[in-house]
């Protein structure tokens, strides 16, 4: 690992630590490649990181498909609000995504502002060091946690990773959606939405 790559890893780890510490209710921050591989993380369990890696590309693809369908322009943030938790995604440059999990203490305003700010800073760091988030050095050196970057789909082999999201629920149905056409037809979009509702 070169000094520049080491500096980038340290910078990203510090940024994620700052994000988790500054947003009320933030529990985990993970920098992902566009296809869902965890590059750097702070806090959270390996299981949480795996779940975020699995869900992020699917939710992002669904949001982008919906935006194209309604001709609404680019997707800047994706936020999923549950009873006691929130999940936020924001692009960090052209090839990376910042994912944040938050508990019930988080407010929507802090999620919108702080997540976008941190994602923008992460994107600037990647661009300044001219390092793609898939760089081997970044994949070798994951901060604090040894994460399984399990790809969501393996179209060439026709296999799918399965992760348990909640008691009695499986992510197998979500995992295969990431291999979908980036410009789905109306019927395909309806099927995707129906499958998400059924999970």
Q: Which two tokens stand for residue 179?
A: 């291999």
Residue among 125, 123, 150 nearest 38 (CA): 150
Residue among 49, 48, 52, 31 nearest 40 (CA): 31
User: Which stretch, 5-9, 89-93, 123-127, has highest mean pLDDT?
Assistant: 89-93
Domain ranges in the chain?
A: 3-148
| 195 within 8 A of 173, measured Cβ to Cβ | yes
Question: At 31, is the pLDDT very low, low, confident or very high (cuts 50, 70, 90)?
Answer: confident
pTM: 0.57
Under CATH, what is the fold of the domain 3-148?
Beta-Lactamase (3.30.450)
pLDDT tens digits, 62-109 = 888 877 877 777 777 788 888 888 888 888 887 888 888 888 888 888
Q: What is the pLDDT of residue 66?
A: 79
Q: Which two tokens stand for residue 186?
A: 């109306």
Rounded to an integer, the average pLDDT of 48-75 is 78
Q: What is the pLDDT of residue 181?
A: 45
């Amino acid at each position: 690992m070169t000094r520049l790559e080491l500096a980038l890893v340290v910078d990203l780890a510090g940024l994620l630590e700052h994000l988790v510490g500054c947003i009320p209710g933030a529990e985990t921050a993970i920098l992902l490649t566009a296809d869902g591989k965890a590059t750097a993380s702070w806090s959270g369990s390996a299981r949480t990181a795996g779940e975020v890696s699995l869900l992020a590309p699917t939710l992002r693809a669904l949001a982008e498909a919906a935006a194209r369908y309604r001709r609404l322009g680019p997707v800047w943030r994706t936020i999923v609000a549950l009873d006691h938790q929130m999940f936020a995604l924001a692009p960090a440059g052209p090839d990376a995504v910042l994912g944040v999990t938050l508990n019930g203490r988080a407010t929507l305003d802090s999620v919108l502002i702080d997540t976008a700010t941190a994602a923008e800073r992460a994107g600037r760091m990647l661009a300044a060091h001219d390092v793609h988030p898939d760089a081997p050095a970044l994949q070798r050196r994951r901060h604090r946690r040894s994460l399984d970057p399990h790809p969501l789909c393996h179209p060439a082999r026709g296999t799918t990773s399965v992760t348990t999201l909640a008691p009695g629920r499986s992510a197998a149905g979500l995992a295969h959606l990431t291999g979908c056409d980036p410009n789905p037809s109306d019927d395909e979009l309806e099927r995707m939405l129906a499958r998400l509702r059924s999970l």
